[in-house]
Amino acid sequence: MEHRTLGRELSNWGRWGEADQLGTLNLLTPERRVEAARSIHVGISMDLSLPLDEHGPQLTTGSRGNPVHVMTRLPSAPADVGGFHYFDDALFLHLQGATQLDALAHVAYDGLLYNGVDLGVVTTSGATRLGVENLVGRISGRGVLLDIPRSQGRDSLGPGEPVTAADLDRAEMHAGVAVGPGDLLLVRTGWLATFTERGDRERFFAAEPGLDLSTARWLHERDVAFVASDNWGVEVSPSASGDAMPLHCVLVRDMGMPLGEMFVLDDLARTAASLGASTFHLSCAGLRVTGGVGTPVSPVVTF
C-alpha cells in the first residue's frame, strides 16, 4: 500500500485536538506511568545511548557530524582566592548525530507536518510548532523489548532486511509479552554492532534492516506511544517502494509518533534474556531545545 493511502487510514490528526503537539505521547497517561513503575523488580539500570564524542557514527561526508568537545578552562588558568580551581568545557553537536529523538517537526510531506501544521513553521530559527521541547520529559513509561534476531535464532539482521508485522508478532510471542496502549517499544535488529563492534560507518549507513510499512498498522492497532530501534532510521532502507522514508511519513507525520534512533540495545537484550524479562521501566531524557526538530537522548532502562 502506498504510504499516503496508509497514512490517511491511520491518521491521528485531531484525535487529541487541533492544537495538539504531543501526538502518541498522549497515550502515556498518569495511570500507565504508575503501572510502569511497578515493572521494576531487581533495580538493575542501563543507559542505552552512544557516547557523545568525535568517535561517533557519523560520516565525514554526511550532512551530520560527530560531536566536538572543547575544554574552555584548564588547570593552566590562575587559581582563585584560597586556591580554588574550576574547569569548563563546551560541546558542539548535531542534535541527531548519535542516540536521538525525532520530534514531530522533523518530517513533512505534501507541505504539511503532523496535525495539518504547515511546514512553513520550520524556519531558520527552528520550529515554532511541534518542536522537541514539547516532548522532553514526557517519554517515561513501560518499555518493551522485541528482539527480532533472537526470536529467529540469529545474532542480527542483514542490510536491507525488512521487519514485518508478522515478525513483530513472532518476537512478541517469543518474549511472552503483549505490546499494548502507551508502551514504549524498542525493536532490536542487531545492526548497531556494524558500527559499535566493527567500526564500519560506511556499511552502517549504506543500508539497514528495520521496520517495513506494514508495521504502521500494527503499531496503530496497539496504540504504541513511541518506537525506537538500534539502527539509524528505525525503518528498513532502502524501502520496498523506493520512496524515501515512507514509514517516517506515516508514523511521524500522520500518526504523530516520535521516533528514537541508534539506541544501544545489544547489552539490554543480553540482560533481558538472562533475567527472563522483556518489560522494564524506560525513561528518555533529552535536551529542551526550543524549536528543535530532534535532540540527543539518554534512555535509561530499569528492570
Q: Which of 64, 26, 45, 61 is nearest to 233 (CA)?
A: 64
Residues paired with 140 in a beta bridge: 283
For residue 1, what pLDDT is reported?
Answer: 77
For residue 62, what pLDDT is reported?
Answer: 82
Task: Say if residues 259 and 283 touch (Cβ distance below 8 Å).
Answer: no
For residue 201, what pLDDT is reported?
Answer: 97
Q: Which of 233, 166, 235 is nearest to 205 (CA)?
A: 233
d(C-alpha 95, C-alpha 15), whole Å = 29
Task: Say if residues 210 and 237 touch (Cβ distance below 8 Å).
Answer: yes
**Angle, CA 231 vertex, CA 229 and CA 233 arms, to 5°:** 90
Q: Which residues of the chain have pLDDT under 50?
A: none
What domains, with CATH codes, occur in the chain? 3-65+92-302 (3.50.30.50)
d(C-alpha 229, C-alpha 212), whole Å = 13
Residue 279 host element (H or E): strand 279-286
d(C-alpha 142, C-alpha 98), whole Å = 23
Q: Which of 180, 169, 189, 170 is nearest to 261 (CA)?
A: 189
Q: What are phi and psi of 219, to 5 degrees?
A: -65, -40
Question: Which grid coordinates are listed for 230?
Answer: 538500534
CA atoms within 13 A on the CB side of 43: 0
DSSP state at residue 109: B
